Amino acid sequence: MCGIVAYVGPKEAYPVILKGLKRLEYRGYDSAGVALLSDELKVYKKKGMVADLEESLVGKDLHAHIGIGHTRWATHGEPSDRNAHPHRSASGKLAMIHNGIIENYGQLKQELANKGYSFSSDTDTEVLLHFIDDIRENNHCTLEEAIRIALRRVTGAYVIVILDTESPDTLIAARKGSPLVIGIGKGEHYLASDASPIIEYTKEVVYVNDYELAIIKPDELILKNLGNEKLTPYVQKLDMELAAIEKGGYEHFMLKEIFEQPHTIYDCLRGRLDISSGKILMSGVEQHIEQLKNANRIIMVACGTSWHAGLVAEYIFEELCRIPVEVEYASEFRYRNPVIHKGDVIIAISQSGETADTLVAIEKAKEQGALIFGVLNVVGSSIARTSHAGAYTHAGPEIGVASTKAFTAQLAVLTMIALKLAKEKGTIDEKRYLHLLTELHDIPEKVQVILEQTENIKKIAEKYADARDFLYLGRGYNFPVALEGALKLKEISYIHAEGYPAAEMKHGPIALVDETLPVVFVATRDAYHEKIISNMQEIKARKGMVLAVISEGDETITKMADDVMVVPVCDEIVAPMLNVIPMQLLAYYIGVYKGLNVDKPRNLAKSVTVE
Ligand code: M6R
């Protein structure tokens, strides 16, 4: 959802903000804007990408040492110049950017309208800004006080940053439910939705917490709660390099991230998986080992691709640890009054660590006494801070909107947790345990082997790129991979695709099959192999086109399928980490073939911080 950037200090603010917005564009890209304060307050906004804004500003006076910028993902009001941020207050003194949703904006808007306010946009943001401005003008209080009063009335989620002509060297920011990072430079401060716009200037950052207010000058950062009490900022060091957030010669971030997977999976296993001693070292698990291994039930809570990782983990945990597992869409779980007992463990899976539905779901479960364990990629994210314990996936920044390397790293972490618990519980025999450690250890190398067949997958992608619909089928551990393959294709190519358990096909989806329908089977050798071959025959008998992900040496399917994508032989438990790679490449190349913006597909945003 929207990305925000702000700067105050000796540098020219505009280039810093513009570069930051480009780095944050994955969060939202329907419009962008900046507000710069020097002799006067200048606000520039434009529908479209950050590059459109940049072009529209050529020749304009952009000089300022303080400013705010925003890239939008529309919630209230269509993408347009007028709905783009920053918004300006009625007094003309304030400019504000906002990420989140003000849920009671309708009521506030009515109150303001009754007082004679008019609105130049359809956004909830403008309503909040007028509300703050109104409080300050009528109560003759400071902006800080007005913000505090206003935020006590607001329901919803927000990060706001305000520029004020009455305090031309000060930014005021506040957060609830949406992310905000402050970078501390020498006599300067940077604000952003995540660390990517900050990393090239400083590694010292403060993550602002919910219900906190930051008053930021070039050489001063004051943090307060909404009760006006001062807080001590907790300064952390960023563990990230600039190269990690740049394309490094690849045409798209998505392709770069697909190709990074041998390294990211290796980084995830490194220091944890010790083949020589037969141990898995995970401090987050060790600290809560009794609760985890004696869990009555594990509930995986996640959205999108992370939910698919949870589904794979369900199969693995039940198989290896004999603990009942449920996998919940966070968006449903948070609203449906679920039954949670003290011995329950929630595993929250999230790349961004900021997904609003997942965050609220775990907050609710936490209130009811469950242990919250996060499997997360972004260090210091909101879900990380809300969890009791966790394990990071160490996949590095994922910029492409479609999740790729985060998924395989989630699977690596979840598999290690399951193996560690199974070993502790004694639900796995030593031979199988050691075999699976080796299988996990070998995954990065096997991913590399798959990536070497990219040209073949590209050709297959081009052959099927004009199809109107796709069906993805898999069984067992490969069923969630089929779901993930279908999601990737939808996101990147806008082709309608559905994923199903292969046996479920005959209960309805088989009606779709004809000579125009490509059916992708995730059909590597596992316990269901014979059965999925039968399902494939059912498709062939109805003239469907069969594309199959198969294990090396599978002559039977090679003869039967129209096209095959071959992966190295491996144990079925680790197979999803390999089998998803051809799915990612297939979606990527179909999207590229169709000339689409694969890194920033329409209507999507990387970090879904609204419900
Ligand atoms: O950051 P999260 O893992 O919590 O995000 C969850 C989903 O929004 C995300 O996986 C989404 O489905 C991706 N676009 C999938 O590629």
DSSP string, 236-260: EE----GGGGS-TT-SSHHHHHHHT
Q: 41, 88 in Cβ contact below 8 A?
A: yes
CA angle 493, 496, 502 (to 5 degrees): 115
pLDDT value of position 604: 86
Which residues are CB-neighbours of 335 under 8 A, at least 6 positions away? none
Half-sphere exposure of 202 (CA within 13 A, CB side): 19
If DSSP codes are grouped into helix, strand and coil, which group holds residue 508? coil
Helix (H) or strand (E) holding 306: helix 304-321
Helix (H) or strand (E) holding 458: helix 454-464
Find out whether the beta carbon of 31 lies less than 6 Å from any atom of ligand 1.
Answer: no
77: confidence class by pLDDT, cuts 50, 70, 90:
confident
CA angle 408, 413, 419 (to 5 degrees): 125
Nearest C-alpha to atom 8 of ligand 1 is from which residue? 304
Token pair of 357, please?
A: 């539905």
pLDDT in tens, 138-165: 999 999 999 999 999 998 889 999 999 9
Distance between Cα 273 and ligand 1 center (Å): 27
Find out whether the beta carbon of 386 lies less than 6 Å from any atom of ligand 1.
Answer: no
Q: 96, 87 in Cβ contact below 8 A?
A: yes
Least confident of 302-316, 354-368, 564-578: 354-368
Distance between Cα 486 and ligand 1 center (Å): 14
Q: Report the interhelical angle of 575-593 vs 430-451 (nearest 10°).
A: 20
Strand ranges for 230-343 from DSSP E: 230-231, 235-237, 273-274, 279-280, 297-302, 325-329
pLDDT value of position 247: 81
Between 600 and 379, the more confident residue is: 600
Find out whether the beta carbon of 609 lies less than 6 Å from any atom of ligand 1.
Answer: no
Which among 15, 31, 128, 129 is positioned nearest to 80, based on CA atoms? 31
| Segment 561-578 mean pLDDT | 97
Q: Provide the total of helices (H) and of strands (E) in the chain, helices listed first.
A: 20, 27
Nearest C-alpha to atom 16 of ligand 1 is from which residue? 402
Find out whether the beta carbon of 382 lies less than 6 Å from any atom of ligand 1.
Answer: no
Find out whether the beta carbon of 331 lies less than 6 Å from any atom of ligand 1.
Answer: no
Position 238 pLDDT exceeds 90: no
- Quote the mean pLDDT of the chain: 94
Q: Of all residues in the chain, what percent carry a pLDDT higher than 90? A: 85
Distance between Cα 606 and ligand 1 center (Å): 7
Atom of ligand 1 nearest to the CA of 402: 16
Find out whether the beta carbon of 196 lies less than 6 Å from any atom of ligand 1.
Answer: no
Distances (CA, A) of 552 to 265, 450, 531, 556, 604: 21, 11, 18, 11, 36
pTM of full prediction above 0.75: yes
Query: Read out DSSP for 347-391?
Result: EEEESSS--HHHHHHHHHHHHTT-EEEEEESSTT-HHHHHSSEEE
Distance between Cα 88 and ligand 1 center (Å): 33
Q: 405, 395 in Cβ contact below 8 A?
A: yes
Position 588 pLDDT exceeds 80: yes
- For the chain, domains (ranges, CATH) are 2-243 (3.60.20.10), 247-441 (3.40.50.10490), 452-598 (3.40.50.10490)
Atom of ligand 1 nearest to the CA of 355: 4
Atom of ligand 1 nearest to the CA of 608: 8
Nearest C-alpha to atom 4 of ligand 1 is from which residue? 350
Nearest C-alpha to atom 12 of ligand 1 is from which residue? 304
Token pair of 247, please?
A: 């394309």
Q: How many CB atoms lie within 10 A of CB 545?
A: 21
Q: How many CB atoms lie within 10 A of CB 272?
A: 20
Q: 100, 144 in Cβ contact below 8 A?
A: no
Position 607 pLDDT exceeds 80: no
Q: 495, 591 in Cβ contact below 8 A?
A: no
The catalytic residues are 2, 606
Find out whether the beta carbon of 305 lies less than 6 Å from any atom of ligand 1.
Answer: yes
Which among 2, 224, 238 is positioned nearest to 101, based on CA atoms? 2
Position 20 pLDDT exceeds 90: yes
Asked whether the bond before 168 is cis by omega within 30 degrees of 0, the reply is no
Position 509 pLDDT exceeds 90: no
Find out whether the beta carbon of 398 lies less than 6 Å from any atom of ligand 1.
Answer: no
Choose which residue among 193, 307, 349, 352 to substitute to test ligand 1 binding: the one with the highest number of ligand atoms within 8 A of its C-beta.
352
pLDDT in tens, 393-429: 999 889 999 999 999 999 999 999 999 999 999 999 9
Find out whether the beta carbon of 303 lies less than 6 Å from any atom of ligand 1.
Answer: yes
pLDDT in tens, 241-293: 777 777 878 999 999 999 999 999 998 998 899 999 999 999 999 999 999 99
Token pair of 364, please?
A: 């609710």
Pairwise CA distance, residues 524 & 482, whole Å: 12
CA dihedral for 137, 143, 146, 151, sign (positive or negative): positive
Distances (CA, A) of 218 to 7, 17, 169, 194: 9, 15, 7, 20
Distance between Cα 351 and ligand 1 center (Å): 7
Pairwise CA distance, residues 421 & 415, whole Å: 10
